[in-house]
Amino acid sequence: MLENREGQQIPQVTFRTRRKHQWVDVSSDAIFKNRTVIVFALPGAFTPTCSSTHVPRYNQLTPTFKQHGVDEVVCISVNDAFVMNEWQREQQATNLTFMPDGNGDFSRAMGMLVAKSDLGFGERSWRYSMLVRNGVIEKMFIEADVPGDPFEVSDADTMLAYLAPHAAKPLDVTVFTREGCEFCVRAKGMLTDADIDYQELVLNRDYSESTIRAISGEATVPQIFINGERIGGSEALQQYLEQQHAA
């Protein structure tokens, strides 16, 4: 049975991290003492759900968490420091702190070390998240103890709903561009001026002309999509931003 440890102190362990080609020991107190920290733990680096959803969304929402009093958001996995560092680089998860629990000491002390021998993983962390204030666990979201790898409650949106239920979430923005397009530069500038983060996809590098035509029905660029809605080009984006400002 996976134990909910709300109200308990965080385990005292030493994390073996690797920074600038040097080993650096990090204690539990260094992470949690006199600080507010969100932790999310997962089964393994580079695994599908962890890489496609769990890490990216926490990385995206970390600035929002920090606006509501969180000092740091920490990802913990039973992997060594080299793997965790490389995974963080691959994910471009610069808002997060990746903490290696290579020997499983933290996960074991949390009662969250489980056998994944059927997958050839050995012992790994169960998937969960928690809010920790000054070393005391205030809230835990633990995935159901069922076969497989459930992912229902330890996500970033559930944590944000607990921490700040009325917080505005960042927009999901994608901009399709091509090299040398002045209208694309203008659109990106408007988004930057509005303090809106976006993902840029460049023609013949990240997508083909047939791809954008299939998505939008047009091959012109830029094409801006916000929260799944096609806004259009740079002029349409300007109108959208003016409407948002007036609202």
Asked if the structure places residue 84 within a domain, the reply is yes
d(C-alpha 43, C-alpha 51), whole Å:
11
* 94-110 residue pLDDT tens: 999 999 999 999 999 99
Same domain for 103 and 141, yes or no, is yes
55-67 and 81-91 are packed helices; what angle lies between their axes, rounded to 10 degrees?
Answer: 80
Report the pLDDT averaged over residues 200-223.
Answer: 94
Confidence of residue 245 (pLDDT cuts 50, 70, 90): confident
Which of 107, 130, 163 represents a domain boundary (last residue)? 163
Q: What is the CATH number of the domain that holds 232?
A: 3.40.30.10
- Based on the structure, what is the number of domains in the chain? 2
**What domain range is 198 assigned to?**
173-246
Asked if the structure places residue 43 within a domain, the reply is yes
Same domain for 40 and 135, yes or no, is yes
d(C-alpha 179, C-alpha 49), whole Å:
33
Is the full-model pTM beyond 0.75? yes
Confidence of residue 244 (pLDDT cuts 50, 70, 90): confident
Same domain for 212 and 178, yes or no, is yes
Same domain for 197 and 156, yes or no, is no
- Asked if residue 121 has pLDDT above 90, the reply is no
184 is a catalytic site residue: no
- Which H helix or E strand runs over 192? helix 182-193
d(C-alpha 146, C-alpha 204), whole Å:
44
Asked if the structure places residue 190 within a domain, the reply is yes
d(C-alpha 54, C-alpha 143), whole Å:
13
* 58-87 residue pLDDT tens: 999 999 999 999 999 999 999 999 999 999
Q: Give yes or no for a contact between 38 and 129, defined as CB atoms under 8 angstroms apart.
A: yes
Q: Give the residue among 131, 171, 151, 124 at the shortest CA–CA distance from 50.
A: 151
Q: Give yes or no for a contact between 148 and 141, defined as CB atoms under 8 angstroms apart.
A: no
Which of 110, 143, 163 represents a domain boundary (last residue)? 163
Which pLDDT does position 147 carry in this prediction?
Answer: 87
Same domain for 118 and 18, yes or no, is yes
CA angle (50, 52, 58) in 5-degree steps = 70
Same domain for 201 and 235, yes or no, is yes
Asked if the structure places residue 2 within a domain, the reply is no
Same domain for 31 and 136, yes or no, is yes
